[in-house]
Structure 1
Amino acid sequence: MTGWLASVADAAEIALILPAGPDILDLKDPAAGALGAWDAEDITRVVRDLETMPGRPRLSATIGDQPMRPDAVVPAARRIAETGVDFVKIGFAPDGAPDRCIDALASLAAEGVKLVAVLFADLWPSDPCCLPVDRLAAAGFRGAMLDTAGKRHGLRHHWQDDQLGSFVCCARAHRLLTGLAGSLRVADIPALKALSPDYLGFRGALCGGERTAGIDPQAVTRVAACMVGAPAATPPPRQPEPVRS
């Protein structure tokens, strides 16, 4: 069953999201970029505050929009890992040295840190064979997620559904958790659930359309209801994507 991830910009938004029952709370600052990072002390505080909550969602946190250099990526990933979150999310673009970054992170994975690679669908070629999925698996990553660096268009604008399905199958074959995100709308949910990723990720759709706006409880309810009840076999027709996430 496909779960859902909700990105929150600050601790105050968590109380607005928790009643909807997300599977993962993603600590990410949308005002600071595609993978804007929270302050590590604030992440640690949330981990501590929620650690005794029965049935709490798992927590993920991003390391920020880092250049593809090991000397930038590895210290940032270690800093976030030390907060105690369940997953550390790291963005990978094809420019720079993504392969060297992945290899350099293997030691962190070997220590038990659950690393999730975020691969930007609008920067990589729209072909799963061009993504470093095998390298991520060999380095000990826990998951791989397709997202978008730019937020003007949604994920399905950049990749067709059959390509997204191939990514999910490829990542799963390498025993990686799979996720799809990037300006997803409620209308996208049935088609993407039909591809059976482990998670769908949302920000803009939880804010009524604009990812840097605050959480809208009514929008959260719509996303949660569709994730629970949407049939996983009737893709809707494509429409323009006004949502930013």
Structure 2
Amino acid sequence: MKMLVSVRSVEEALLAADGGADFIDLKEPGAGALGGLPVNTIREIVVALRRHRSGLLVSATIGDVPMHEAQRIAARVDAVGGCGVDYVKVGIERDSHAPAVLDALAASGWPIVPVFIADRGLDMAHVAHACALRFPGVMADTFDKRAGSLFDVLPMQVLREFVDAVRGEGAMVGLAGALRATHAPLLQELAPDFAGFRTAVCVGDRSTALDPQRLRALGVLMRGRAAEAVVDS
């Protein structure tokens, strides 16, 4: 299970790369669940990470765009994809427009990771539709980070069904949503390919600066849990 860390600047990206992150995610935490950074900032971070030669995967969000704004979604996907990221993350709400949005994303030509917003539950038919479209990865996340974590929003059985459905189609599966170090045992039980963190590695709430000590400690914890699983298997 890889550790994805969300960052908003070159400084945070390099700190995360040196602090044990496996996957760097570019977003603006102060602008919503999947708040988008300016395109120039995304490009600057990508260039800095490539120069750093960390070899880490890099994703970036397009921002919180409503499902009915198809043209705006497409424009943001093109803009973010053109910055050289490995994956473009797009929030998918529980909404009747979701299947059409997923179809358009699959036809966009960019490596898209749909992120299903779980606050109102997951529509597993929409998840199955995404899996059938062969995206490289699929995630579940939350919108309202103040309402609790992903584990407060969805029961373990639903999360297990989600992980199994995505993995069964050969895609990467990720979980995020106000996750903290205390969720490590639950994450280990579900064993997604990656888990996303921001709040857990900040000095205060998710809009504050990254804390190098918390970042390193979380990395040790996550890898320690993985090592225990290998020993116990």
TM over 0.5: yes
Q: Distance in 1 between matches of 2:74 and 2:133?
A: 13
State the shift of 1:139 in Å: 2.8
1:79 aligns with 2:79: yes
Code of the residue aligned with 1:143 in structure 2: it is G
TM-score between both structures, scaled by the size of structure 2: 0.91
Q: Quick one: distance in 2 between partners of 1:30 and 1:131?
A: 29
Structure 2 residue runs of 5 or longer lacking an equivalent are: none
Aligned counterpart in structure 2 of residue 136 of structure 1, from 102, 127, 130:
130
Alignment of 1:50-69 (within 5 A): 50-69=49-68
Percent same amino acid at aligned positions? 35
Alpha-carbon distance, 1:221 to partner: 1.5
Query: What displacement does 1:99 show?
Result: 1.1
Q: TM-score, normalised by structure 1?
A: 0.87
The residue aligned with 1:34 is 33
Instruction: Give 3-state SS (helix, strand or coil) of 1:105's partner.
Output: helix
Structural mapping, 1:39-188, within 5 Å: 39-69=38-68, 70-95=70-95, 97-108=97-108, 111=109, 113-125=110-122, 130-152=124-146, 153-188=148-183
The alignment partner of 2:107 has SS state of: helix
The answer as to whether partners of 1:124 and 1:131 remain within 8 angstroms in 2 is no
Write 1 or 2 for the structure with the bigger share of helix.
Answer: 2
Matched, 1:222 2:221: no
Tell me, which stretches of 5 or more residues in structure 1 are unaligned?
234-245
The 2-side partners of 1:140 and 1:78 are apart by 19
Q: Which amino acid aligns with 2:62?
A: I
The alpha-carbon distance between structure 1 residues 107 and 86, as it changes in their structure 2 partners (threshold 3 A), is same
1:185-242 superposed Cα distances (whole Å, 9 cap, x missing partner): 1010122122110001000001044101111111111211111102449xxxxxxxxx
| Contact in 2 for aligned 1:25/1:58 (Cα 8 Å) | yes
Do the aligned residues in 1 keep the contact of 2:7 with 2:27 (CA within 8 Å)? yes
Go from structure 1 to structure 2 and tell me whether the alpha carbon gap of 1:208 and 1:162 turns closer, same or farther (over 3 Å shift): farther
Query: 1:162 deviation in Å?
Result: 2.5
Aligned to 1:237: none
